[in-house]
Chain A
Amino acid sequence: MSRSTLEVSGMGCICAPGNNLNEVKQSLYTGERFPMPPKKIETQLDFAYPVFEVASNLQDMDEEATRTTKLALQAVHEALSQAALSPLDLQKLRVGVAIGTTVGCTLNNEPFYREYHAGNNPGMAVVDRYLANNPAQYIARKYHLTGPVATVANACSSGTDAIGLAKSWLKNDMCDLAIAGGADELSRVTYLGFISLLISSASGCRPFDKKRDGLNLGEGAGIIILEKENRLQQRGADSLAQLIGYGTYADAYHPTAPHPEGTGLKKAIEYALRESDISPEMVGFVNAHGTSTPSNDKVEGNIIAEIFSDRIPVVSTKAYTGHTLGAAGAIEAVFTIQALIDQKLPATPGFEQPDEECRISPTTDILEIGTEIGISNSLAFGGNNSTLLFRRAN
């Protein structure tokens, strides 16, 4: 097994605050966020729950791609650019692709199914597109990649777990380089689904706030390019950060609620720390899952306080992006790395009043941090908990 460290050489991000990482970053540092009623989704509901939509129609992207795939492609393109890797460079290597998603691997196209349900014969274009648009497979085909190809469908921790999967590929020499992350588009089905669970907020989400009442959905993609240190050095490229730890554990508790004692999250964080030989005191900040639901924030806050301290800087960037489901863990990995580069955290808009039951409070303003290590958490429906640990590049 390889002992070379794993370096992040490129990143890409598209979400409501911006179409590329630079735009997104600038937006986050203003502290402003814009939850809005959805434009692309129409419903019969009396109320339009706010969401965080990507403004762009992505019309320059491949016509035959679904919106989820287009979001992923945009972020992949940006990440490869930053990593100074051309499509030709990729073809000389074994490149793996691991993408997390929830909407992107599901055949739930409503217009198609409504026609079918009504007893008509809908055309097969929608099914053709579904079969051709498994996100990881699409990217691998587009760039003619020959390494492992996996779409991870682990609900809200998919993006985190895709990065964890790519890490294991590199460590086991299954590929030379990996494109890893997550993507999800806003979908009417998930929008209605979360509303039916009564965990969507009627206003902008308020992570860890005493009056929080639910999440806002979002859409987007986050991608990182992962490669071993020796390869990076060989091609004279720069590292943005090191991926030093990944932990993942199930709660084995309930299909939609986290374990009240956060047992899975605790094990995931502790594994990641042990794997990277990092003690809790060395961790400078947490990019929380922080969905703003009553149960998630309470469980997560308590575990963060227990393992680190109730004073460790915490940010929930879902306050800017909404919950982007399969993309969330990957977008937040990108933000964690960016925070290490910039040595600061954005504020967490929506948070006003601490909840003593959460034990921690997130940032209320831009916070300068002098730290080498940051972590990002993801807690998924179904009870999966995953954590990534990053170290600032030398």
Chain B
Amino acid sequence: MALCVLGIGTVCALGSGIDNFKLGLKAERQPNIVQMPVKRAHGAFNLPVYQALVEGLDRFIPRRALRRIDGFAKMALLSTHLAIEDAGIEFEDKSRVGIIVGSGNGPIRTTFSLLDGIIDYGDHCASPIHFANSLHNALASQISIFLNINGPCTTITCFNHTVANVLLTAQNWLNVGMVDYIIAGLGDEYCDVLGYSAVAYGAGNSDSIQPFNFKTCTFLPGEGYVTYLLTRDSEKSMYGNIEKININKPVSEIEEEILSDSEAVLLSAKGIISENESFEKIDLTNKKVAAYSPLYGSMPVTAAFDISTALVSLKDKVIYPSPQNEANSDEGMNIINQKIKLDKNSSITCIELAEKDSFNIYVLKGV
């Protein structure tokens, strides 16, 4: 069963809302890259980080009501509202709306805020609000509370399996008739501990993510949250459908997938060397290829933003040039460096690394 995308809400370094996201794809808006200090014992280090711009939440929720809500939950709430606004629909029965949230690291900043309180003030001063907000399902819970949505609600935290699982769970819930709509959200946030870890793993040697430079570590941390409003009825979509989701496909089986009718292949390559070793093995000769992580950064759920890119492209009937398309491209790959027009019912395939040498494949189809 295809997943029909009714609306998309993005909050990331390109700003809040799908219009800003599109400006980024068109290269008319630059991502918000901030030099973040990384704590080290022997001097400071500045790491370029794709920092999310969270703007306009007070259009939907009064500031006073957000007092206990941390930054990550604010991203999630804004993204959710934007997706519903983008779809332009109202829910008749909120118990028939499901909420599925996926995140690689969860509310990691609040996790450390909780520890800060314990370390600075003692064991008897653990903040109960920080504790409640540090649970990975806090985002889904806040979405259900603020939007008064009382259908099924779940949270999945599984690194490179997160995006696929959120979408497959959405598919299953719609398929069995548990719900009529799904609010599927995927996000990750940055914090200074992640910055420290990123530097230790080789980030910061490059000022930009070069997704096709498979031999070099060029990843830079990003943060953001994207929400899809999904249903099963294809006729209502302006973006198209998430037509197929195939998980854990070994390299040898990828050929069949990408030899499908897709106009382009979007690689969720984000400059991580261990992932690049697997991406390199996919034969992309003569396929039109793009990678958009330089627009939003490296995070466990980057593929969710790539799927958004594909959906926007299908809606606009144009594939936008791959950013960083001149930088050290691998031989034999036809990296998209100019706009490509798309027909109705075109397809785009997104490829995300699942495990070493196996991939999750998402086929998106326009309407």
Q: Once the chains bind, are A119 and B39 in contact (CB under 8 Å)?
A: yes
Q: Once the chains bind, are A141 and B355 in contact (CB under 8 Å)?
A: yes
Q: How far is the CA of A174 from the CA of B245 in the complex (A)?
A: 11
Given pairs A113-B112, A382-B137, 8 additional interface contacts (CB within 8 A): A134-B157, A149-B158, A174-B172, A197-B131, A252-B145, A255-B68, A255-B132, A381-B141
With A45-B124, A165-B169, A174-B168 as given contacts, are A150 and B161 in contact (CB-CB < 8 Å)? yes
The one of B94, B137, B158 in contact with A150, judged by C-beta atoms closer than 8 angstroms, is B158
Q: Which of A153-161, A329-337, A355-363 contacts B (4 or more CB under 8 A)?
A: A153-161
Check if B307 is an interface residue, CB within 8 A of chain A.
Answer: no
Q: Once the chains bind, are A250 and B112 in contact (CB under 8 Å)?
A: no
Q: Which of A62-70, A104-112, A231-239 contacts B (4 or more CB under 8 A)?
A: A104-112
When distances are taken between beta carbons in the complex, the residues of chain A under 8 Å from B94 are: 252
Q: Which of B55-63, B115-123, B221-229, B256-264 contacts A (4 or more CB under 8 A)?
A: B115-123
Q: How far is the CA of A134 from the CA of B118 in the complex (A)?
A: 25
Q: Once the chains bind, are B148 and A151 in contact (CB under 8 Å)?
A: no
Check if A25 is an interface residue, CB within 8 A of chain B.
Answer: no
Q: Once the chains bind, are A255 and B193 in contact (CB under 8 Å)?
A: no
Check if A316 is an interface residue, CB within 8 A of chain B.
Answer: no
With A192-B126, A380-B137 as given contacts, are A134 and B158 in contact (CB-CB < 8 Å)? yes
Q: How far is the CA of A113 from the CA of B134 in the complex (A)?
A: 15
Which residues of chain B (256-309) have a CB below 8 Å from chain A? none
Check if B247 is an interface residue, CB within 8 A of chain A.
Answer: yes
Q: How far is the CA of A121 from the CA of B112 in the complex (A)?
A: 16
Q: How far is the CB of A261 from chain B (nearest CB, A)?
A: 12
Q: How far is the CA of A61 from the CA of B39 in the complex (A)?
A: 35
When distances are taken between beta carbons in the complex, the residues of chain B under 8 Å from A43 are: 123
Check if A251 is an interface residue, CB within 8 A of chain B.
Answer: yes
With A193-B114, A250-B99 as given contacts, are A255 and B138 in contact (CB-CB < 8 Å)? yes
Check if B340 is an interface residue, CB within 8 A of chain A.
Answer: no
Q: How far is the CA of A189 from the CA of B118 in the complex (A)?
A: 9
Check if A383 is an interface residue, CB within 8 A of chain B.
Answer: yes
With A193-B128, A256-B132 as given contacts, are A117 and B119 in contact (CB-CB < 8 Å)? yes
Check if A308 is an interface residue, CB within 8 A of chain B.
Answer: no
Q: Once the chains bind, are A131 and B159 in contact (CB under 8 Å)?
A: yes
Closest to B40 in A: A121
When distances are taken between beta carbons in the complex, the residues of chain A under 8 Å from B148 are: 252
The one of B150, B156, B248, B355 in contact with A250, judged by C-beta atoms closer than 8 angstroms, is B150
Check if A384 is an interface residue, CB within 8 A of chain B.
Answer: yes
Q: How far is the CB of B130 from chain A (nearest CB, A)?
A: 8
Q: How far is the CA of A108 from the CA of B107 in the complex (A)?
A: 11
Q: How far is the CB of A9 from chain B (nearest CB, A)?
A: 22
Check if B95 is an interface residue, CB within 8 A of chain A.
Answer: yes
Check if B32 is an interface residue, CB within 8 A of chain A.
Answer: no
Q: Which residues of A contact B (CB under 8 A)?
A: 1, 43-45, 102, 105-108, 110, 113-114, 116-117, 119-121, 124, 127, 131, 134, 136-137, 140-141, 146-155, 161, 165, 168-169, 171-172, 174, 189, 192-198, 248-256, 263-264, 267, 271, 380-384
With A148-B247, A381-B135 as given contacts, are A264 and B115 in contact (CB-CB < 8 Å)? no
Q: Once the chains bind, are B132 and A151 in contact (CB under 8 Å)?
A: no
The one of B108, B152, B172 in contact with A169, judged by C-beta atoms closer than 8 angstroms, is B172
The one of B106, B119, B141, B201 in contact with A255, judged by C-beta atoms closer than 8 angstroms, is B141
Which residues of chain B (133-162) have a CB below 8 Å from chain A? 133-138, 140-142, 144-145, 147-159, 161
Q: Once the chains bind, are A136 and B150 in contact (CB under 8 Å)?
A: no
Q: Once the chains bind, are A149 and B123 in contact (CB under 8 Å)?
A: no
The one of B153, B158, B176 in contact with A136, judged by C-beta atoms closer than 8 angstroms, is B158
Q: How far is the CB of B95 from chain A (nearest CB, A)?
A: 7
A-B CB proximity, top 5 nearest: A382-B141, A193-B131, A153-B136, A250-B153, A168-B172
Q: How far is the CB of B239 from chain A (nearest CB, A)?
A: 24
The one of A1, A152, A195 in contact with B126, judged by C-beta atoms closer than 8 angstroms, is A195
Can you name 7 A-B pairs with beta carbons within 8 Å?
A: A45-B124, A110-B115, A114-B115, A117-B115, A152-B157, A155-B135, A196-B127
Q: Once the chains bind, are A124 and B137 in contact (CB under 8 Å)?
A: no
Q: For the complex, count residues of B whose C-beta is within 8 A of A.
A: 70
The one of A110, A117, A153, A384 in contact with B157, judged by C-beta atoms closer than 8 angstroms, is A153
Q: Once the chains bind, are A382 and B138 in contact (CB under 8 Å)?
A: yes
When distances are taken between beta carbons in the complex, the residues of chain A under 8 Å from B46 are: none
Residue among A140, A147, A263 with max Cβ neighbours from chain B (10 Å): A140
Q: Once the chains bind, are A154 and B137 in contact (CB under 8 Å)?
A: yes
When distances are taken between beta carbons in the complex, the residues of chain A under 8 Å from B138 are: 255, 382
Q: Once the chains bind, are A249 and B95 in contact (CB under 8 Å)?
A: yes
Residue among B40, B124, B142 with max Cβ neighbours from chain A (10 Å): B124
Q: Once the chains bind, are B169 and A248 in contact (CB under 8 Å)?
A: no
Q: Once the chains bind, are B141 and A153 in contact (CB under 8 Å)?
A: no
Q: How far is the CA of A180 from the CA of B168 in the complex (A)?
A: 17
When distances are taken between beta carbons in the complex, the residues of chain B under 8 Å from A263 are: 150
Q: Once the chains bind, are B145 and A255 in contact (CB under 8 Å)?
A: yes
When distances are taken between beta carbons in the complex, the residues of chain A under 8 Å from B127 are: 196
Q: How far is the CA of A311 from the CA of B94 in the complex (A)?
A: 33
Check if B165 is an interface residue, CB within 8 A of chain A.
Answer: yes
Q: How far is the CA of A195 from the CA of B108 in the complex (A)?
A: 21
Q: How far is the CA of A165 from the CA of B158 in the complex (A)?
A: 14
With A102-B136, A165-B169, A381-B137 as given contacts, are A192 and B156 in contact (CB-CB < 8 Å)? no
Q: Once the chains bind, are B150 and A249 in contact (CB under 8 Å)?
A: yes
Which residues of chain B (160-218) have a CB below 8 Å from chain A? 161, 164-165, 168-169, 171-173, 175-176, 178, 193, 196-197, 200-201
Q: Once the chains bind, are A172 and B158 in contact (CB under 8 Å)?
A: no
Q: Once the chains bind, are B41 and A161 in contact (CB under 8 Å)?
A: no
Q: How far is the CB of B106 from chain A (nearest CB, A)?
A: 7
Q: How far is the CB of B326 from chain A (nearest CB, A)?
A: 32
Q: Once the chains bind, are A119 and B151 in contact (CB under 8 Å)?
A: no
